[in-house]
């Protein structure tokens, strides 16, 4: 373990250098009139958009199916399972709702003059409004949402399938179908890992596309408002909502936060809640006195489905790009997206840049151009660090509250 950790730490500076090189190359490509570089960058951007669209929906669907099907809790654990699910969904909905309120208060302005991007989206919007999109929530064909890349329909089917698997009476059949979906999920996680390794190439493409648009007169001042919403949503969730959740359950919030600092620090710098899990479990058991019965069931489950920071990011990103691309964003649309972001966040695969992939998938499913994600990508590393720390903090809060309630 030590040697592996040492190897990983040695690779990090090299990865940072690669990112800087690709960002610089993207800037040069966009600013200069070197046709070959610009064309290459635009083609790479288009290829990665298609890759995101190809792998994101299966990952979301399979994550939800595996999560809902594999936890066949016995009678003793049934109460813990139900409480975990309830608190996970509740805190994630609140995280998305906080982002919604902040979005209404801050009202980020558009990135002006996005040219053909806005006109394309406006054309799509005129062909059918968002409510028409919702009418296809229940498909007539079980494979249709996946073939048509209809995210909401796929989420609905995945939830039904995941729950239904738990009620298959034959144990062998239930285990076989569960293993099939777990294996399929593993395949896409491996593919996603490959994509993450070449993400600097995508950064070159997105930066090139963005710089080309900036040369056409794009005003990116509105991006500051967007970033403010994302960061503040995480800060408020972490320092106000979750401490309040602990307080009403008779847990001293900031004492608990201080106790979880080792795990929160690892989560922040590693950007992986799954990788932090061993530290999270040990810290919760030693510093928060969470019983092993609770920590070793609740924390692994929460690591899979409790994504407060991801829900806030998905909501803010999707709404912001919808707004920038000429689609009507009403209060009812935002309210609906609170729940969509919650479901999507629960289906997050737990891989690096998982929220970024999810947001891209949701946007491409509605034919909304995602070129503006190129502006967000350079900031995403910091956002991911904050989100991961928040997710681990939320996991710890849920585990502590459930432990207190069981003991009480």
Q: What is the CATH number of the domain that holds 225?
A: 1.10.3860
3-state SS class at 403? helix
349 vs 73, 204, 225, 292, 404, CA distance in Å?
Answer: 22, 25, 28, 25, 29
pLDDT score of 253: 94
Is 117 a residue whose pLDDT tops 60? no
Q: How many domains does the chain have?
A: 1
pLDDT score of 6: 42
Is 373 a residue whose pLDDT tops 60? yes
Tell how far CA 10 is from the center of its chain. Answer: 27
Average pLDDT, integer, range 116-140: 49
Could you count the other beta carbons within 10 Å of the beta carbon of residue 79? Answer: 13
pLDDT score of 7: 41
Helix 373-407 to helix 354-365 angle (10° resolution) is 120
Dihedral sign computed on CA atoms, order 69, 70, 72, 76: negative
Task: Give the side-chain half-sphere CA count within 13 A for 102.
Answer: 26
The first and second tokens of residue 237, run together, are: 């969730």
Among residues 284, 267, 331, which one has the least CA distance to residue 100?
331
- Domain, as residue range, for 62: 2-407
What is the largest distance, in Å, between two alpha-carbon atoms of the chain?
69
CB within 8 Å of 342: residues ≥ 6 apart? 89, 92, 93, 96, 311
The first and second tokens of residue 345, run together, are: 């966040």
| Residue range 92-107, pLDDT digits in tens | 999 999 999 999 999 9
288 vs 255, 268, 283, 391, CA distance in Å?
Answer: 9, 20, 7, 17
What is the rounded distance in angstroms from the CA atom of residue 208 to the CA atom of residue 31? 8
- Whats the size of the chain, residue-wise? 408
Could you count the other beta carbons within 10 Å of the beta carbon of residue 132? Answer: 9
Is 390 a residue whose pLDDT tops 50? yes
- Provide, rounded to the nearest whole percent, the portion of the chain with pLDDT above 70: 80
| Residue range 208-266, pLDDT digits in tens | 876 776 666 555 667 889 999 999 999 999 999 999 999 999 999 999 999 999 899 88
At 57, the pLDDT band (50, 70, 90 cuts) reads confident
Could you count the other beta carbons within 10 Å of the beta carbon of residue 145? Answer: 24
Among residues 243, 255, 199, which one has the least CA distance to residue 380?
199
At 137, the pLDDT band (50, 70, 90 cuts) reads low
At 324, the pLDDT band (50, 70, 90 cuts) reads confident
pLDDT mean across residues, the chain: 79
Torsion on CA atoms 397, 401, 402, 406, rounded to nearest 10: 160
Question: Are the CB atoms for 146 and 57 separated by under 8 Å?
Answer: yes
Is 9 a residue whose pLDDT tops 90? no
């Amino acid at each position: 373990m030590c040697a592996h950790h040492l190897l990983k730490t040695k690779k990090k500076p090299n990865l940072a250098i690669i990112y800087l090189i690709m960002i610089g190359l993207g800037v040069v490509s966009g600013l200069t009139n070197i046709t070959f570089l610009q064309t290459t960058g635009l083609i790479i951007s288009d290829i990665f958009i298609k890759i995101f669209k190809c792998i994101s929906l299966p990952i979301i669907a399979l994550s939800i199916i595996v999560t809902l099907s594999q936890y066949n809790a016995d009678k003793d654990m049934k109460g813990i399972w139900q409480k975990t699910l309830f608190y996970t969904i509740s805190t994630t909905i609140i995280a998305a709702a906080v982002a919604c309120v902040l979005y209404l208060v801050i009202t980020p302005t558009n990135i002006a003059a996005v040219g053909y991007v806005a006109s394309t989206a406006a054309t799509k919007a005129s062909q059918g409004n968002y409510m028409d999109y919702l009418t296809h929530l229940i498909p007539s064909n079980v494979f249709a949402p996946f073939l048509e890349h209809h995210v909401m329909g796929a989420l609905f089917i995945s939830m039904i399938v995941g729950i239904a698997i738990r009620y298959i009476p034959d144990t062998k059949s239930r285990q076989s179908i569960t293993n099939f979906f777990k294996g399929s999920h593993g395949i896409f996680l491996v593919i996603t890992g490959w994509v993450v390794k070449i993400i600097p190439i995508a950064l070159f493409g997105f930066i090139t596309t963005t710089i080309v648009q900036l040369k056409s007169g794009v005003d990116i001042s509105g991006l500051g408002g967007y970033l403010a919403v994302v960061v503040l949503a995480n800060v408020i969730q972490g320092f106000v909502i979750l401490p309040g959740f602990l307080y009403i359950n008779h847990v001293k919030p900031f004492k608990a936060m201080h106790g979880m600092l080792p795990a929160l620090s690892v989560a922040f710098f590693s950007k992986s809640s799954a990788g932090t899990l061993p530290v999270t479990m040990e810290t919760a058991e030693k510093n928060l006195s969470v019983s092993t019965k609770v920590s070793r069931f609740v924390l692994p489950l929460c690591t899979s489905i409790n994504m407060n920071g991801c829900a806030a990011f998905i909501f803010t990103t999707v709404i912001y790009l919808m707004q920038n691309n000429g689609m009507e964003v009403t209060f009812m649309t935002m309210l609906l997206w609170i729940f969509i972001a919650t479901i999507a966040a629960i289906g997050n695969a737990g891989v690096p840049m998982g929220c970024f992939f999810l947001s891209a998938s949701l946007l491409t499913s509605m034919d909304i151009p995602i070129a503006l994600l190129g502006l967000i990508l350079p900031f995403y590393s910091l956002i991911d660090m904050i989100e991961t720390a928040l997710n681990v903090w939320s996991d710890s809060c849920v585990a502590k509250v459930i432990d207190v309630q069981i003991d009480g």
